[in-house]
Amino acid sequence: MIAPSDGAQGRFGPVNTSEAFDRLSNAPVGYLATAGANGRPHLVPFVFALDDRRIVSAVDHKPKRSQDLRRVRNIAANPAVSVLVDHYEEDWHRLWWVRADGRGRIVSDGPEYRDAIAALVAKYPPYLEDPPDGLVIVVDVERVTGWTAGRK
């Protein structure tokens, strides 16, 4: 269940829950924040899709130092995660951000895995030819907050 939110109060205004999910859905990239058992934060840019108000991402074919990713290890040790998307431009009347807080899970097979991969393929054209086949991170969103300067 997603906690209702009036949004984060800002000088110009909060983003309501519906608008927050719309902005999340349309953002091309976000930032995934995790923390291990030791509490040390870890922040990485990532591609993701929204699947029934869950945020999904996959370990894909892009070059990485290892497939043993800290974000996956962190979620196994401490499932509390945040996802941040934002928009910046020189016209500060167009600034906005949305944060989704929730519980992360790792999925490696089954219908939920297939649905997540399908959502990612639908959002990112490069995945049409080379869909991800690694682990899927699912974030069960519990709360969304956001702020906007007022104009999209």
Mean pLDDT of the chain: 88
- The pLDDT value given to residue 91: 87
Is the model more confident about 152 or about 113? 113
Residue ranges of domains in the chain: 17-148
- The pLDDT value given to residue 93: 85
- The pLDDT value given to residue 92: 86
**Is a pLDDT exceeding 90 seen at residue 151?**
no
- The pLDDT value given to residue 9: 42
Answer yes or no: are the C-beta atoms of 87 and 31 closer than 8 Å.
no
Secondary structure class of 14 (helix, strand, coil) = strand
| CATH classification (class only), 17-148 | mainly beta
- The pLDDT value given to residue 10: 41
In the chain, count H helices and then E strands: 4, 7
Complete DSSP assignment for 67-105: SS-HHHHHHHH--EEEEEEEE--SSGGG-EEEEEEEEEE
Q: What is the dihedral of CA 24, 30, 139, 130, to 10 degrees?
A: 100
User: Tell me: the pLDDT tens digits for 26-67?
Assistant: 999 999 999 999 999 999 999 999 998 899 999 876 655 656
Is the model more confident about 151 or about 119? 119
Quote the percentage of the chain above a pLDDT of 70.
86
Give the rounded distance of the alpha carbon of 60 from its chain centre.
Answer: 15
User: Tell me: the pLDDT tens digits for 87-136?
Assistant: 998 988 889 999 999 999 999 999 999 999 999 999 999 999 999 999 99
**Is a pLDDT exceeding 60 seen at residue 2?**
no
**Is a pLDDT exceeding 70 seen at residue 8?**
no
Q: Rounded to an integer, what distance in angstroms lies between the CA atom of residue 101 and that of residue 120?
A: 20
> Computed from CA positions of residues 42, 43, 49, 51, in that sequence, does the dihedral angle turn out positive or negative?
positive
State both tokens at 70.
């800290």
Q: Rounded to an integer, what distance in angstroms lies between the CA atom of residue 54 and that of residue 130?
A: 23
CA of 82: how far to CAs of 75, 93, 105, 125, 130, in Å? 11, 25, 13, 25, 27
